[in-house]
Structure 1
């Protein structure tokens, strides 16, 4: 590590690198990359067929910032006349300062023409230029050529004239807008330089009469190593071919994609080299592979839940001055977090209500196992919504795969509605309280509230539904423990072999809890899901203003309540500290109709099975045809 004396140097240094991780697979290249590989092997440029990521910078790893390289920092300090430490010799070089004036015997009497303050001003102006090209220009403009009136020449024994010495130079310094001639020693000592920059500047002037075009050509040779374009394109095609999925937890504010797998970047590079060798095509170095991997792609190995609060982490890392201005908002955030946890604990101990938390588990992909090719094929996504009763610890699990349905509000609302149907059939005058995160696309939206309104209207034993949203960044809850149990059971079962179908995942859910009541699994088909967006339209449902004519912003609400006694309204709180609910009419009565008498037609969300994308189904059938998935499961994959 080279230390740098950065006294008076105010440019900020870069922050620590973030590390991006990725995983992908080779087998898919046989189908999607064969034409590109052939072009590479024939020496052709494959750029016209490249289909990798967008040209904008999306990678997690920072780009090279040459301005903050230590050698360039030292260079700027040196060119500004400031103290610095040599990167190689570690020698400390002092600041550029005035040197003594010339002697009194000087014929130009330089010392009498300039005061020390004027000399210091000239020194500061010269080094404030900060670039050696500008300093060369300053020197050239301060030197005039003088042709001697008489000149003696030497003649050798053969009568040839020897080399004639160059013309003389006159040096000038400007003070108060007037050029004043000085001797060379005074010129050098005032600028704090030696002969070398003067000789270099005059030499460049003689070689190129255009002063403005003088450049520092050191290190600008054209003999740099460049990676072949075909190798770069081959690496990008290889990484792009990896099947990727979105993060359920942070996709609203992140474009990063994730890949199921346990390989490292080094493992991926070995697979890449092996593939290139088998195709007899050139391949890049690990450094080239790693840079492309981290700078041109925004992908990671896992789909992690967002455990750290971005508000809290950002507050920890700002300066004390910024903390002072943001302290009030931060303390309010912590207060809401603490109040939400107190509220949940209080509800758990209330025997007069039913309290549950629901959340969608991270995507399970099948087939799943240690077979290497599985990492490089698009796989079937299996989804699991768990509803965890906080009072008796019972868990309802709703499972479906992506060929039957998506994972939007229709699917989430249907599962919650079926849970309400089940519990309302077992109790009377039931008050239900739900907790969840703040995912706007799945539960914090008007379609989910429409489902709650429909439920209190149509389910006879349901008195009210209250949904309380946990504070962003602090949504950890008991449902996470259920997901953790399922994931541990999946890992245990994978020790005995791969899991090929969603049925294996369902079996793992049923076996996940050993010492208490097992999880209740509800396997969902496309025909089970309802269209709650249509219900919202039929209700003429809209969240606009409360009874005091204040605008209601759904994103800022902490609690929402609907009740059978007033199904046309929602009651809400904007803070856990609020004592009373506010009211807003959200079901608008249509002309000549009473909202209670309007018939609501609950329609199916899917009239037929959506199926899989052709590309994904091709990958799965390729695994079946190569016996990487046993042919026993072929009918299942053909039906997708």
Structure 2
């Protein structure tokens, strides 16, 4: 015992915490225990002696050495027991530390017996435990927070891959843009992506005599710059946009003559077009394909045709391929009659079904009946609407009537030469309007467009009582200033004035007088060619008198029949949308709704004239030219052939029969100009309506608010 006291462990009284709460406490406790261990190993090395021989007798020195070793072994057992308790202070939270020492576990704890010899299979020499690394965050074997840390690292959200950088996606994108890419090639029963494909290039233009000598084709007028721009624009599109472009640029017309009888595979005639300066110009098939850099098979496939190889290779066995439901739906849509887009929008490639079909539900029901009658599979509503979208077809009722000449040409009733002349006049009129619009925006002239909105009815509401009753007609004459986008609307009902030439003359004179007084400069008017409304001697004489009074030049230009889309039409469209689902009980409500229809750049100006507003410009003494017809005898040009009229301050009128011609004096002798200070009023009182209409309106008072009854009671009637 004395030796034990003399060799007591120097850290025996060290402050070793029993309650390990944090990682810092665990590190401090372990550092103390490791220092203790190092001290034990050092003592062992100092007192270590060679092992005794079995036949030798123990000497007094050996006995002393064994006692000292026994003391050290006891201290080591004490240290090991203390070290083994480090991870067990907080059960279920800290697992045992992995030591570089073999420990034999028993149910009653750790046991280090004194028979430490080479014969003991669990014997570990003390020298084997001297390779412990210093405890640090870099080389610690285990601690709880590290396990949590490693677990959080493994559960960390991985960075998502960018599909744009995938090789296959790059190839698909390059193929869509017409660049070089690596395509697939069949190798046995597999497809391998190892087939390099060249970039798309624009081919040569067609040099046939039919394209260059005839007037129907635009091939000879196409320049390489225009073709290159079309090619570049086309290959910037997505596949869906390319398909829509080709579908809109190729017209399919049923064949009018079968040259091979019933065995002919040709079911239709295709007409190819290219868009040049926002206009569709007809070209031949070769020019179309070479300009876009595509093949005929691509066009046929996109138009819904399935080209069966057996038709082109008769010696091969015929293979029957069932068409998908979506392709059958597309065939049905392609076969339906459609209206060209210019009847509905000036710059649109969308095709519109005829107004007979009112909704998608009705169209789908017709498709189902058609497919059932032919024993064909029926696509679902979703698949059918997808085909409708891909074919760029919409259901829309045009606001204007279709052009008679365009319809006649499509039906084959007029020649290509007549149709080409018609389209040329349309393009010239639009180019003229664009040019004058630019001049007006620069402040050089005034340029306006004017038109009458479709007749509105009053009262207007969803009541069955209105279906069989006549109602009051309300009119809106609209003027759109192309220079500053200002709009003026003249709202009046049939009791104020009816529609005649002097009515429009009064409206033109009133608007232009205010316009010129604010900013005196020349005026250009664009209208349609309606003879009763815009192209007649009453309106012309009124504008001529105004030009003389204000000492300015007024030019009136007429758009081509069937293609009279103007900026003023957008005003009517906005008003129509504002009137949707609105109840109108009085004509004055139309004026109120019009004021609310637009906010930017400025609200619409609304004028509600009464019967005293309208003047009688049709008086014989007021007319300087009794007629504006450019010809005199039979077969000469008529009023409808005039494309432009110019009213000069000197009291003369010039005209044009073609926009490319110069103005020519009207071959009519003007009368002596009389000075008329004021034009008399057209009416002295409100215009009466028919007795039947009056009684019908009285009957409709049952669905009209009481505060509106007074207006209908005071209506004049015959």
TM-score (norm 1): 0.48
> Relative contact order, CA 8 A, sep 6+: which one is greater?
1
